[in-house]
Chain A
């Protein structure tokens, strides 16, 4: 697993207070991990801070799973 994936999962575990085993790549923040809409905003803010990237609103809307977040952040870092 990449560093980014590790870090993303750690942030999700901390923010949503869920078991690490549940935080699979395909897990949906809202449907599988019990996040509400405010949680998803907070998660995006936490990703922005942790990775030093900007995630605009239209991109944030599309980040619904753990994998979405990892992919987006890795693409930003590669750019």
Chain B
């Protein structure tokens, strides 16, 4: 089950912890994986770890022309693009009172507009083949909101609305469009929390632990598979039960 032999995937933000783990999971299932991100050396390291069937494809998604060029490069070097994983994103937190237009716009640009442009570029080939998977990584804060993250939460909620619309547009062509919404994932940032902060966080997670990048990667691998062919327009919450919707 869930094999991806013969498929080609593109993972943006593959330099990050979650993105790298998604790339590993898709590669393990048999897909060739294009690794995108801004730090080429980190991508090269991951490609070396994966071995055959990995392509280093750096891109700066704050450039509006980058998504089209990135998809074209993947299609020309790996022959096709079956699975797009919109994982790249960044935060620039601040209370709304003090959030500049630039902090708002920059986050929306990379976290929401770039995924749209990537999806638009990728759907052309997918429509021709009558098959494809577009999976976007959102966040629990897109559902719950979070003080200091109006821009990030808006972008992540935006991915959900965008994906539902694309799911309806593309369903007749065998393309599914879904979202994975991670909760709190263990990262160097969350490792730095003190014991009291951690205890308070744990009280809000019924399953009693932080998530691991592998928890998210497994959800993506499922949605990418042929077996998930009847799932579209869905948001899969992977958050230890912290928010249920």
Instruction: Determine if B172 and A36 form an interchain contact, defined as CB atoms under 8 angstroms apart.
Output: yes
How many positions in chain B have a CB within 8 Å of any CB in the partner chain? 6
Interface residue ranges of A25-45 to B (CB < 8 Å): 36, 38, 42, 45
Instruction: Determine if A38 and B173 form an interchain contact, defined as CB atoms under 8 angstroms apart.
Output: yes
Instruction: Determine if A42 and B172 form an interchain contact, defined as CB atoms under 8 angstroms apart.
Output: no
B203 in contact (CB, < 8 A)? no
Instruction: Determine if A38 and B124 form an interchain contact, defined as CB atoms under 8 angstroms apart.
Output: no
- Fill in one digit per residue for B165-177: 1 if any A CB lies within 8 Å of its CB, else 0: 0000110110000
How extensive is the interface on chain A, given as a class? under 10
Complex CA distance for A45 and B169, rounded to whole angstroms: 16
- Fill in one digit per residue for A29-65: 1 if any B CB lies within 8 Å of its CB, else 0: 0000000101000100100000000000000000000
- Tell me how far the C-beta of B166 lies from the nearest C-beta in chain A, rounded to whole angstroms: 11
Complex CA distance for A45 and B172, rounded to whole angstroms: 17
Complex CA distance for A38 and B124, rounded to whole angstroms: 11
B127 in contact (CB, < 8 A)? yes
Q: Which residues of A contact B173 (CB under 8 A)?
A: 38
A15, closest chain B residue (CB): B128
Complex CA distance for A42 and B124, rounded to whole angstroms: 9
Q: Which residues of A contact B170 (CB under 8 A)?
A: 38
Interface residue ranges of B111-155 to A (CB < 8 Å): 124, 127
- Tell me how far the C-beta of B202 lies from the nearest C-beta in chain A, rounded to whole angstroms: 47
Complex CA distance for A72 and B124, rounded to whole angstroms: 23
- Tell me how far the C-beta of A37 lies from the nearest C-beta in chain B, rounded to whole angstroms: 9
A42, closest chain B residue (CB): B127
Q: Which residues of B contact A42 (CB under 8 A)?
A: 127
Q: Which residues of B contact A36 (CB under 8 A)?
A: 172
Complex CA distance for A79 and B172, rounded to whole angstroms: 37
Q: Which residues of B contact A38 (CB under 8 A)?
A: 127, 169-170, 172-173
- Tell me how far the C-beta of A18 lies from the nearest C-beta in chain B, rounded to whole angstroms: 16
Complex CA distance for A64 and B170, rounded to whole angstroms: 21
Complex CA distance for A25 and B172, rounded to whole angstroms: 27
- Tell me how far the C-beta of B14 lies from the nearest C-beta in chain A, rounded to whole angstroms: 29
7 A-B residue pairs with Cβ-Cβ distance under 8 Å, sorted by A, are A36-B172, A38-B169, A38-B170, A38-B172, A38-B173, A42-B127, A45-B124
Give chain B's interface residues, CB within 8 Å of chain A. Answer: 124, 127, 169-170, 172-173
Beyond the given A38-B127, A38-B169, A38-B173, please list 5 additional residue pairs across the A-B interface where CB-CB is below 8 A: A36-B172, A38-B170, A38-B172, A42-B127, A45-B124
Give chain A's interface residues, CB within 8 Å of chain B. Answer: 36, 38, 42, 45
Task: List 6 tightest A-B contacts by C-beta distance, closest first.
Answer: A42-B127, A38-B172, A38-B169, A45-B124, A36-B172, A38-B173
